[in-house]
Structure 1
Amino acid sequence: MMYAILDIETTGGKYNEEGITEIAIYKFDGHKVVDQFISLINPEKPIQPFVVNLTGINNKMLRNAPKFYEVAKRIVEITTDCIIVAHNASFDYRVLRTEFDRLGYEYERQSLCTVELSQKLIPDQKSYSLGKLVRSLGIAISDRHRATGDAQATVKLFKLLLSKDIEKTILTETVKLDTKKKVNDKLLRLIENLPSATGVYYIHRKDGGIIYIGKSKNIKKRVTQHFTNENRKSRKIQEEVINVTYEITGSELVALLKENEEIKRNKPKYNRTFKRTKFNQALYEFTDENGYLNLQVKKVDRRKKSITTFTNRQQAKSFMYRWAEEYNLCLLYLDLDNNNEKCFKNTTQKCNGACIQEESIDTYNDRVRELIFKHTFRNKNMMIIDRGRDIDEQSVILIEEGKFMGVGYFNLNHQINNINILKSIITPMEHDKDAQHIIQSYIRQHKRLKVVPLDKNKIDS
């Protein structure tokens, strides 16, 4: 999918009599800028004084600039097979078409407006003017009211909008518009256009509808498997697929969460009824008759509050033995030793004697509570920082009061240090048991993850 994200500065004046003074076009493939065209343009008419004050572009600056007809061919080339994207697209697209009309050329493109998309995907903003909107989202903008600065800010805004578009309406509509599909070698062509990167992929049918959603650390490799497998589902997908789009997430955790959310929202036919994330074991706590905190792995009971969940009993036992060592806990009180008198660790002098009441209740229980606090979501406010899509970007997952709020991306630390900006860049997502299990399980298995506690007072402010 190709987009031509542009901004145009004009002379001002009467409707349909404006002339273009500057244009910036960034060809964007949904992930990165792949081409660009930036130029001052001689409008062959004077600029309105208020526009000179606003943009800083004056008549003298444009005297030796190319006239529109001299750059028209380049504009046609860079926007061919692209959807025009602009902030207040009706204005930019109208002015562009008017200039081409004067040359006797019929210029037609599909268009998307980032004002309309922002109103839908980022509601309740005080202003949807480009400058105020991107500042509220923590997006840097320079050279305001110049084509280059405004177009670059629109690229960053559109990238954010694509990641916030959980319903995938932008992708569905644009795939529907793209009719240049060839049947011959279509699978090979689709695979060639995919990246070997971590993210979520969407398999579309002819009308743009999504028939399958998946996640992979290598999108190209995983889709190749769909297109080469001989099972019934894979053959059906191969028959119906007309396009594959994708969203690079950088973070595998973000990809897992997006897959979980978007399958439930979009209900693609070949994901069938989405099987819940497979976890059937949970960790529970209770205080025994002597006052010691016990931990026990049992089959999930959705009526009870668990500390954390596990994919299966074998995984649960593995972590329990690891935690017994890490926190110096008694195997008897972790339900890992059938001896009714004292645990095996005690016989090897590796237990402090809680199982035979030699260690104080408070001292032992403090270590258990430390484990519980680290591995539960209860009432926690925190951010999980992980890889981003680019080398200078990181992903962030927000947890408030033990509830998963959503995911986002940031380049600058002030975007996550300011809670209002942090919340504005987060794409809201549903908190459910599956999402909670995905996050807790991922944190357990990836020690490099940065988990940052949040100040409750700052969140409320």
Structure 2
Amino acid sequence: MNKLKNMEYAIVDIETTGGHARGSRMTEIAIVIHDGGKVIERWESLINPEQYIPLAIFGLTGINNELVADAPVFASIAEQVFNLLEGRVFVAHNVNFDYSFIRHQLEEVGYKWTARKLCTVRLSRKIKPGLRSYSLGNLCDNLAIPIANRHRAGGDADATAVLFSYLLQWDNEGVMEQMLKKTSADQRFPANLSPEDFEALPDTPGVYYFLNQHGKVIYVGKAINLKKRVASHFTGHNINKQRQHFLKEIYHITFEVCANELMALLLECAEIKRLWPAYNRALKRFEPKFGLFKYEAVNGYQYLAVGKLKKHSQCIQVFNLESEGIHVLRQLMTTFGLDHRLCTFGLSSVPYVSRNNNEYGDLPEIGAHNAKVDLAIDYLVEQQPTFVITGKGRTAEEKSYIWVEQGNFYAMGYLDQYAQVDAMEDIRSTLTRYYGNHYMMQLIKAYISKYPHQVTYLNDSQKTILLPEQTGEYEDGSLRLF
């Protein structure tokens, strides 16, 4: 505690035109200097933000465009702000919000400034656990701290200074000293995140979930090392609106351990498809754009067509490029003698037969043609391999399995390595069923090209095609797919 009392703290509150530093500006700032025992200096100022103040902000703070019209712009008070903050611990309620604005606006006028931070939200959660709410207003009500001029920088900074003094007195377990260490996660973690959630993360591959205060999943990610990957979300100084809102919404973390990176990647994709979290957007670009379709026209003929793949549309096979689909369709035409007039290639939505009805003679008999189409489709499906990837499990006592059926990711899971397995169907029936997509199969194909010894191919009767015995020579590296 003596060490803490020898430090000086800058307790800060600001008012702004909006919720993120990239597109908003400060309208008011208050800085209270605390020496670990008492307040030794106090300063506050309105700021002309040089931009319009929304009505919603005026309704909350009482600060409007007229009030700040004659106030100094930030550039004219930046040196004073810098001198008050430099060399002191930066303290605020939800510290990352205030810190991001001040650091950004100081950088804009040429001041390079960083500081160790203390968040009175996180401090209060640790030193006074179990309270109903940790908002500044509710904390002041619960702890009998007087607060005047609520939602104004001076009033909130004064109340935060009183709260900080109480927390210093109540901190009998060295919480504050631990949080001030440069290596402490509290220097970068979001204010609402439970530290116990982070500490529970293992150093293993898996999938992690960020949850909001209502328990709803807002982000799903995969990791080779769960703890290291989650920590990376909270490093760096990013003032973008999306990131600021994202960090503010994180209240809890849950996770699921996986045996390897591939299983983590597949589970991440499956969970994003299932939950569609608000902050997951990257996987959209991996969806295929084209498909091979079969449809029956009013004339009774079955047509095969290559076209754009629309959301939720069903097709026989998907492709990244239109040319890939055209190549497959041409092969089917050649192999099965399909009349080219009953096939559609690419951009044209009108079958060739409709444009050249008489040029090549009569169309084939409907029944014979449709039978050929069915044979072609059956052939195409049967050409897709069925196989299982076997690997190490999450522990030494289990094995992992990824099941691909007729070219589609079908299931995955884990079995005790000593479990009795009489047939491959025994494995298949115990795995968790998933619904794959083209991107997931790309991941699987990239993996088996690196580790072919882990793959067992199966024929139609699910009998194993024996492969050379597995060895451990490929087991040491991690998979880098992109």
Short-chain TM bin? 0.3 to 0.5
**Structure 2 length-normalised TM:** 0.35
Answer with 1 or 2: which has the greater Rg: 2
TM-score by length of 1: 0.36
